Amino acid sequence: MKDFILPSDRDMGTPASRSTTMVTLEIDGFAVTVPEGTSILRAAAEIGISVPKLCATDSLEAFGSCRLCLVEIEGRAGTPASCTTPVAAGLKVHTQTAKLKQLRRGVMELYISDHPLDCLTCAANGDCELQDMAGAVGLREVRYDSPQVNEMATHFRARNTSGEPNPDWLPKDQSNPYFTYDPAKCIVCNRCVRACEEVQGTFALTIDGRGWDSRVSTGAADFLSSDCVSCGACVQACPTATLTENTVIQIGAPERSVLTTCAYCGVGCQFKAEMRGEELVRMVPWKQGKANRGHSCVKGRFAWGYATHKDRILKPMIREAITDPWQEVSWAEALDFAATRLRSIQERHGRRSIGVITSSRCTNEETYLVQKLARAVFRNNNTDTCARVCHSPTGYGLGQTYGTSAGTQDFDSVDHCDVALVIGANPAAAHPVFASRLKRRLRQGAKLIVIDPRRTETVEGAHYRAVHHLALTPGTNVAVVSALAHVIVTEGLHDEGFIRNRCDWNEFLDYAEFIADPRHSPEAVESVTGVPAAEIRAAARLYATGGNAAIYYGLGVTEHSQGSTTVIAIANLAMLTGNIGRPGVGVNPLRGQNNVQGSCDMGSFPHELPGYRHVKHPEVRAIFEAAWGVPIDHEPGLRIPNMLDAAVEGTFRGLYCQGEDILQSDPDTHHVAAGLAAMDCVIVHDLFLNETANYAHVFLPGSSFLEKDGTFTNAERRINRVRRVMAPKAGFADWEVTQMLANAMGAGWGYTHPSQIMAEIAATTPSFAGVTYDLLDRLGSVQWPCNAAAPEGTPLMHVDGFVRGKGRFIRTDYVATDEKTGPRYPLLLTTGRILSQYNVGAQTRRTDNVAWHPEDVLEIHPHDAEVRGIRDGDWVRLASRSGETTLRANLTDRVAPGVVYTTFHHPETQANVITTDYSDWATNCPEYKVTAVQVSPSNGPTDWQKDYAAQAAQARRILPAAE
C-alpha cells in the first residue's frame, strides 16, 4: 500500500470528448491540442490551468449555471462560461483578466451572502469546493446582508434575533442512514440532481421552485421514502456540506486513500478506501476504475459496517460434537484439532473422504490455496465453490460453444450497444452499477429486450422502457431462446458471412435444420412459455437486425434443470447473428458474487485445475505435480450436492468451508443440514457464526476484504487489486489461515505475501502468465488472458477467432422440468435478490441496509391472493414438497398470476427450505428458479422455523476460554 501512489484524481471540469479530430488553441498564451468537442474549461485543465468553477465536474455534462468559470476569448464578445463553450481552432483564451476577476468575485460574494460561515465546525471543512473557490477568487468581504426586519433573506438562519422562525430555513434530512441532507448549505448548483440523472439514472432528485425558492427536492417527504436508491452519486457530486456521509460528520476528514475493490457483486467496482489511521472513514468510487467509472451502489459505497460488527468472531473455537457449546482456543490448538480430525477421517475412510469449498468472496490467492489444499494436501479433487450453485452452467455452456468460460466483453462495451437483451437478470437490483451504465445507453436510444417472469426494476425505469418484455413461465428459457433462434434462421436474419468464417459450417447446417423445425416456432411454444408468438418474433427481429446486440444474463438462466442448455442457446444466438468479437455485442454473464469468476478461474471445480484444464489430462497434472511436488488425483472430485449426498451415505466425512454459508444458500435446507450433521469434521472459516457453523466442529475466524491483500476477478475477467487498509481483526488474513491448516497437516508451505501466490498462479496458468502485482499497480487492473500475446490483457474475447478455434453450434431441445405444478402445489416460486441486500445477507443484514429490507416477503399476484383470502402484509405459509416456511405477502402485479417470488436474504425465512434438490443436467447447479408451491394464510412461524431457531441458539453457545 505504501508503495502505491494513486493516479491523478484531478477534476477536469467536463467529461472527455471521444472525438478523434484534434483542435489546437491558445489558453493564457500556451498552445494546447485537444479532441474536438472538448470544453475550454477542460482544455485549460489539460495544461494545468484550473479555472474557478462550482457547478462543473468531469463526471457530469456541463451545465453552465454558476457563472464562475467565465473566460474571455479574443474577437468574441462577452465572458462565456468555459464549461459550456467548446474549443475551436485558433482561439485565444484568457482565463484571468481584470474583468473576469471582478465578475468572479461578485459571483462568489453573492453565493456566500446566503451561506453560513461556520466553516470551522462544518463537516466539509477542508473538502469544500465553495471554500476553495472563495479562496481562489480572493473574496475578502461580503457586503450584502439580509434585512433584519420580519423578512430574513437567508436559507441558513433558523430564527431571527427575536426568535421568530425563518420560513425559508429547512431542517436537516437525516432519514437516510448513510448521509445527511442539510438544505442550509445548498448553493443550488444542480450537481446532485444531475448525478442522480446522468450517473445513476434514477431521477430521484429535482430542483423545486424558481429563483430564491429553488430547493433540491426528492418529491417525497424525505430521502428514505423517495425514489432514492442511496447510490451516493449525489453525495459525491456535492461541492459543499449539503450532502455529506454520516461517517465524515461523525469521524472527520480522512487523511489518506487506499485503492481497493468492492467485495459485493460481480461488477467489481474500484473504490478509494479513505482512512484515518486504521479507521475507515468512507468508501468513494474511484473515477479511474474501469468497471465502475466512478460510480457505486448502496452496498459498496455504504454497507461496509459489517467488517467491524460486534458479531464478528475473533477467536478460533472447537467442539467435540455439534451439540456441545463452542470452546475458545488458541490458533495452534484449533488447527491441530482440525488437522488431526481430517487425517484420522482419511485413515479410516480413505483419501477421498474429505474436501473443501472455496469462497467466491475471498481473493483469487485465497481460493487458489484452498483448492491446492485439497489437491496437494488432502490429495483428492474434492473441491467446489458456490459458483456450483450460480454460474457453473456458464462454465459448461460457454466452454462447449466458444472454448472458454467467461464473458466476452468489458463493461465499457455497453456504450456501443444498440440492442441489449437481458435474460434472467435484474441488474437494477443485483448489478446496480452496470445497470446505471446500461440505462445511460438506453436513454441515448439503445433498445432493451427483457426475458424474465417478473416485471423487474430493469424492465422499466426513468426515461426508458423495454421494447419487449417476454414474461415467460419459469422453466421455459430454452423454449423461448430457441424460438428466437428459429425466427432468425427461418426468416433468413442470420449472418452467413460470420458463420462461414468463424464457426463450424457443418455444425451450423445441422443446427439450422434442427432449429427450423416448426416445433421450435414461437407459435408452437406459446402455450408452454406463455409469451405471445408475435412478441418473440418481434424481439428476434430486433436482436438480429437492430445493430450491435449484446446479451447480458444472470442466474435466471443458469439456475434451472436446463441451465447449461440455455447458456448454449444464448451462445448460439450470438453466433447466428455475428454478435461476437467487437465492442457493443457479446455474451455477458453477470456474476453474482465479487469473485465468482476468479474462484472458477482458480481451479475451484472438482474436475479442473486452474485455467479450466481437466484433471484427466496428464500434461496439465504434470505442471502442478512439478510445482507442488506431489502426484495429483486424475479422477474428478465431488461437487457440493454430491458431497452432501456422499455425506448422508457415509463416504464423505470432513469439510473445510471458507467464506460460504451452504446451509442458507444451498437448496433443500433439510438435505444440506442432514449432510452436514452426518460429517465428523466440519470446519467453518468465516467472519460470523453463520448458519453452516451450527453444524461445525471447528470455527476459524475470517478476515474482511479490508484486512488483506489480494485480487478479485469481476464479470469482465478484470483482475482488480484488493489492498489491506487495516490489520486483520483476528490476527491473520484468510490465506494465512489456510496455509496454517495445510502446514498443520504437514504441507510445509511458506508464502509470506499473496503476491507470491499470484506468481505461482502465473507460472502454472497460461491465461494468467503475465499477471503480477506490479502490472496491476501500473495499469490499475487487467483482463485475462494476460500473457506474452496480450501483455496488457484482453478487453474483448474471440475477436479474430474463438478460443476453441471454430465456434460450435449445439442443438438445444427444450425439456420441461420435472418440477411441475399440480393440485397440491399449484404455483411456481422463483427467487431473486434485491438492491440493498446481498446473497444470504450475512454482510448486509449487519449494516443499516436493513432500513430498506428488514425481512423477506412473498410477492404474489392479487388474483392468486384473493382466491386464497390473503391481504397485503398478511403472514402466509409457503410450502413445497421439500419444506415450508412463513413470511409476509406483498400483493403486486410484478409477478404474473401463477407465479410467486421471494428473496433469500434472511435466515429466519430460509427460502431454501422450499427449494428442491432438482438441478442442471450438466453441472448439478440447483434449480432455484422453479419450485412448485402452495401459499395459504398463516398465523406465524412454522414448527420448522421454531425448531431451527432453537437449534441455532443452542449451537451458537460459546464458553469463555479456560484461563
Partner 1 sequence: MDQGDAKLIRMANQIATFMASKPEAEGVAGLAGHINDFWDPRMRGRLLDHLARGGAGLMPMVIAAAPLIRPPAEAP
- By CB under 8 A, residue 537 contacts partner 1: no
Nearer to partner 1, 277 or 631 (CB): 631
- Name the one residue in this structure whose C-alpha cell is 489539460: 46
Cα gap 712→704, rounded to integer Å: 13
CB 184 within 8 A of CB 130: no
Nearer to partner 1, 383 or 945 (CB): 383
Cα gap 23→747, rounded to integer Å: 63
CB 784 within 8 A of CB 768: yes
Q: Find the part of the chain contacting partner 1 (CB under 8 A) among 114-122, 213-221, 376-384, 766-774.
A: 376-384
Q: Find the part of the chain contacting partner 1 (CB under 8 A) among 435-443, 732-740, 854-862, 922-930.
A: 922-930
Cα gap 717→591, rounded to integer Å: 10
Nearer to partner 1, 428 or 644 (CB): 644
Q: What is the CA radius of gyration of the chain?
A: 29
Helix/strand/coil (H/E/C) assignment for every residue in 48-92: CCCCCCCCCCCCCCCCCCCCCCECEECCCCCCCECCCCECCCCCE
Cβ at position 623, least distance to partner 1 in Å: 16
C-alpha cell at 526: 406459446
- By CB under 8 A, residue 614 contacts partner 1: yes
* CB neighbour class for 141 (10 Å; exposed up to 12, middle 13-18, buried from 19): exposed
Instruction: Compute how many residues bind partner 1; rule: CB under 8 A.
Output: 40
Alpha-carbon separation of residue 284 from 260, 431, 575, 592, 675 (angstroms): 10, 18, 39, 22, 42
In terms of DSSP H, where are the helices of 748-899?
754-764, 773-779, 862-867
Half-sphere exposure of 161 (CA within 13 A, CB side): 4
In this structure, the strands spanning 354-358 and 654-658 are: parallel
Nearer to partner 1, 255 or 818 (CB): 818
- By CB under 8 A, residue 583 contacts partner 1: no
Cβ at position 860, least distance to partner 1 in Å: 30
Cβ at position 837, least distance to partner 1 in Å: 32
- By CB under 8 A, residue 924 contacts partner 1: yes
**Rounded to 5 degrees, what angle do the CA atoms 276, 278, 283 make?**
65
Half-sphere exposure of 452 (CA within 13 A, CB side): 29
The set of residues, in sequence order, having a beta carbon less than 8 Å from that of 449 and lying 6+ positions away, is 419, 420, 421, 422, 466, 467, 468, 469, 470, 539, 542, 543
DSSP tag of 569: H
In terms of DSSP H, where are the helices of 517-577?
522-529, 533-545, 555-558, 563-576
The set of residues, in sequence order, having a beta carbon less than 8 Å from that of 445 and lying 6+ positions away, is none
DSSP tag of 650: T
Cα gap 699→697, rounded to integer Å: 7
- By CB under 8 A, residue 92 contacts partner 1: no
Cβ at position 422, least distance to partner 1 in Å: 25
- By CB under 8 A, residue 433 contacts partner 1: no
Which x/- pattern, by CB under 8 A, does the window 619-658 give for partner 1?
------------xxxxxxxxx--x--xx-xx-x-------
Cβ at position 650, least distance to partner 1 in Å: 10
Cβ at position 707, least distance to partner 1 in Å: 35
Cβ at position 651, least distance to partner 1 in Å: 6
- By CB under 8 A, residue 811 contacts partner 1: yes
Cα gap 918→927, rounded to integer Å: 6
In this structure, the strands spanning 613-614 and 827-832 are: unpaired
Q: Which of residues 658-677 bind partner 1 (CB under 8 A)?
A: none
- By CB under 8 A, residue 678 contacts partner 1: no
Nearer to partner 1, 238 or 662 (CB): 662
Q: Find the part of the chain contacting partner 1 (CB under 8 A) among 136-144, 380-388, 427-435, 835-843.
A: 380-388
Cβ at position 631, least distance to partner 1 in Å: 4
Cβ at position 639, least distance to partner 1 in Å: 8
- By CB under 8 A, residue 569 contacts partner 1: no
Nearer to partner 1, 24 or 344 (CB): 344
- By CB under 8 A, residue 734 contacts partner 1: no
- By CB under 8 A, residue 923 contacts partner 1: yes
Cis preceding linkage at 823, omega within 30: no
Cα gap 251→234, rounded to integer Å: 20
Among 10, 159, 616, 957, binds partner 1 (CB under 8 A): 616
Q: How far apart are the first and last CA of the chain?
A: 38
Cβ at position 355, least distance to partner 1 in Å: 10
Among 405, 565, 690, 764, binds partner 1 (CB under 8 A): 565
Nearer to partner 1, 72 or 920 (CB): 920
| Total number of residues shown for the chain | 963
Nearer to partner 1, 529 or 565 (CB): 565
Cβ at position 453, least distance to partner 1 in Å: 22
Among 815, 949, 950, 961, binds partner 1 (CB under 8 A): 815
Cβ at position 399, least distance to partner 1 in Å: 11
Among 79, 382, 830, 909, binds partner 1 (CB under 8 A): 382
Residue type for position 349: H
Looking only at Cα atoms, what is the longest distance across the chain? 92
Cβ at position 750, least distance to partner 1 in Å: 25
- By CB under 8 A, residue 349 contacts partner 1: no
Q: Which of residues 186-215 bind partner 1 (CB under 8 A)?
A: none
- By CB under 8 A, residue 325 contacts partner 1: no
DSSP notation for 736-753? HHHHHHHHHTT------S
Cβ at position 640, least distance to partner 1 in Å: 12
Nearer to partner 1, 159 or 351 (CB): 351
Cβ at position 812, least distance to partner 1 in Å: 8
Cα gap 883→916, rounded to integer Å: 9
Q: Which of residues 459-518 bind partner 1 (CB under 8 A)?
A: 514
Alpha-carbon separation of residue 218 from 61, 139, 173 (angstroms): 21, 33, 11
- By CB under 8 A, residue 561 contacts partner 1: yes
Nearer to partner 1, 39 or 382 (CB): 382
Cβ at position 468, least distance to partner 1 in Å: 27
**What is the Cα 529 distance to its own chain's centre?**
30
Residues in contact with partner 1 by the rule CB under 8 A? 351-352, 379-382, 514, 561, 564-565, 606-607, 614, 616, 631-639, 642, 645-646, 648-649, 651, 811-813, 815, 818, 917, 919, 921-924
